[in-house]
Chains A and B, each alone.
Chain A
Amino acid sequence: MKSIIELNEDEKDCLQELMNISYGAATAAISSIIGKFATLSIPKIDTISSSELIKYLEEKLLSKNKYYISNQLINGYLAGENIFIIDEVSSYNLAREFDLEEDEINENEIKDIILEITNILSSATSGKLASLVDTSISFSAPHITKIESIDEFDKRFEGQYSQVIIISTELNFKEQNIQGELMILTKKESSIFLKKALHNALENM
């Protein structure tokens, strides 16, 4: 898969390292909120163009039936959008880890928890990148939908963004693994800032 703005090997390594740190912070926050020990597998990072996003999601939807997709707008120099995608089974398991009893788990509660996780991961990752270029960003309230076919996916993503950074990871609790992917969709101008952020990080390493 080819991205519009190519990252060289050093930049990719740097992005990987930054996301490791960000996800570490996010995991610590999640552990603290729910009072349970959780670990996160080392995130796998890939970059694609937004035109390839639909194809990527289409392939995912073939392997499993239903996914929740939450999205959150990022405002400021790193303007863009974060998308968190998680399958139905992982979502249910996540709700259980948030100490919801069987009779408390319903569609709205599951969605609420996914929105919370999206918010935590968004602020940890995008917030980290923003701090490296000494800029402030803010987030809009996240929204969530459940889809079972790529036709239900909002196609506006295709034309709006130039690049997609996919961060795949597994959130591991004592008894279960929860798989989810965070996608950071950046506009062309924000991609330039992203490169700058990575250069600043490389200089300080």
Chain B
Amino acid sequence: MTIDNNIIFNTVNNGIIILDDDLNVLAWNKWLEIFTKVKEKDILGKNICTYFPYINEKKLKRKAKTVLVTKNPSYLSLDTNRYLIDIPVSNVTNTIYSSMQQDITILPYDLEKKLICIYIYDNTLMCEINYKLEKANEELIDMSHRDPLTQIFNRRYFAEQSKKIKSFSQRNNNIPFSIITLDIDKFKNINDTYGHLVGDEVIIKVAHIIEEEVRTSDIVARFGGEEFVMLLQDCDLNNSYKVAEKVRQDIAKTSIKVHIDTEVKFTVSIGVAQFNESDNNNIELTLSRADEALYQAKNSGRNKTIVSN
């Protein structure tokens, strides 16, 4: 069986392969000769999966069958397959991909003879641009989620994540989760006595201590000023109280050196609440209850943890 090559076939800026239903190559255009360095005469009549053993034969056969049965195109998506034929990227402007990123379209070519046609499009440049955009976007999103001083999360991120955690809990037999609010005691005095730079150091130190005490799955956020909030997943009131107490005690033991002979010590007050039915499915109410407990701690002498029942 011979396939007539023509000008379009050999000048088009993408790869074209014609295969029979056993995946033997019947045509291989000039573009492929240039990029793969495989001459048409050397591959004609050979099984493409034998020639390129990394091609998933089972999948390609299924695709071939699909296009012949449905008489419609099928695709190998870049979402799941980076390429059909591994072609090293030689373009000097490319810095990310070592192999050409290919969009593949498979078409019925001759239904009677059960022939299929494969188009290979070079999508490397577009993939590279997308990759860089995605990375830049991720960085922007991350920046918009973080508090610039402490680098822990901000209130906006906390609000987004708390909704997800609430949904997850509800989908999984109401796995308990709790909110801890924390405020640095007499923070204004620290600022007034030692200056804002020392105040900032205290805030950063508190943020680091909290982060060390919670799990990576928990959310720690600075809500502004000297106020922090933690959301502990899969954690009931008792265990949350233990975590809060550990944080409070660790902070009380800490100090910041401001001069050779001067150290600043500071304490925190903490409120704890577990999300429950009384919150009417509104996590803001859980947060309010934790806040109320925090103010009780403040009003009853500070450097305390109070739980909301």
Name the B residues within 8 Å of A116 (CB-CB): 62-63, 66, 74
* Alpha-carbon distance between A111 and B75 when the two chains are bound, in angstroms: 12
A115 and B75 within 8 A (CB)? yes
Interface presence of A142 (CB below 8 A): yes
Contact B167 A62 (CB under 8 A): yes
Q: For A151, give its contact among B69, B75, B160 (CB under 8 Å).
A: B160
Q: Within the assembled complex, what's the spacing in Å between the Cα atoms of A177 and B184?
A: 57
* Assembled-state Cα–Cα distance A125/B195 (Å): 70
Interface membership of chain B positions 232-274, coded 1 if the CB is closer than 8 angstroms to chain A and 0 otherwise: 0000000000000000000000000000000000000000000
- Asked whether A112 lies within 8 Å of B80 as measured between CB atoms, the reply is yes
User: Which of A112, A119, A149 lies in contact with B72, CB distance below 8 A?
Assistant: A119
Complex formed: what's the CA distance from A62 to B74 in Å?
33
List the B side residues contacting A124 at CB < 8 Å. 70
Q: Is B103 interfacial (CB 8 A cutoff)?
A: yes
Q: Tell me the smallest distance from the CB of A142 to a CB of chain B, in Å.
A: 6
**Residues of chain B at interface, number, CB under 8 A:** 26
Query: Residue on B with the closest CB to A141?
Result: B75
Contact call B72/A123, Cβ cutoff below 8 A: yes
Asked whether A77 is an interface residue with its Cβ less than 8 Å from the other chain, the reply is no
- Whether A151 contacts B164 by the Cβ 8 Å rule is yes
Interface residues on A, range: 20 to 34
Main SS class of interface, A: helix
Report yes or no: B70 in contact with A112, Cβ–Cβ below 8 A.
Answer: no
Complex CA–CA separation, A123 to B105 (angstroms): 15
Per-residue CB contact flags for chain A residues 124-152 toward chain B (1 = under 8 Å, else 0) read 10010000000000010111110001010
Chain A residues whose C-beta falls within 8 Å of the C-beta of B160 in the assembled complex: 151
Within 8 A of A (CB), among B30-76: 58-59, 62-63, 65-66, 69-70, 72-76
List A residues 61-98 near B (Cβ within 8 Å): 62, 65, 98
Residues on the A chain within 8 Å of B65, using CB: 32-33
Q: 21 A-B pairs, CB-CB below 8 angstroms? A: A32-B65, A33-B66, A33-B69, A62-B171, A98-B62, A111-B77, A112-B76, A112-B80, A115-B79, A116-B62, A116-B63, A119-B66, A119-B70, A119-B72, A123-B72, A141-B75, A141-B77, A142-B75, A144-B77, A144-B79, A149-B164
Chain B positions near chain A (C-beta within 8 angstroms): 58-59, 62-63, 65-66, 69-70, 72-81, 103, 105, 160, 163-164, 167, 170-171
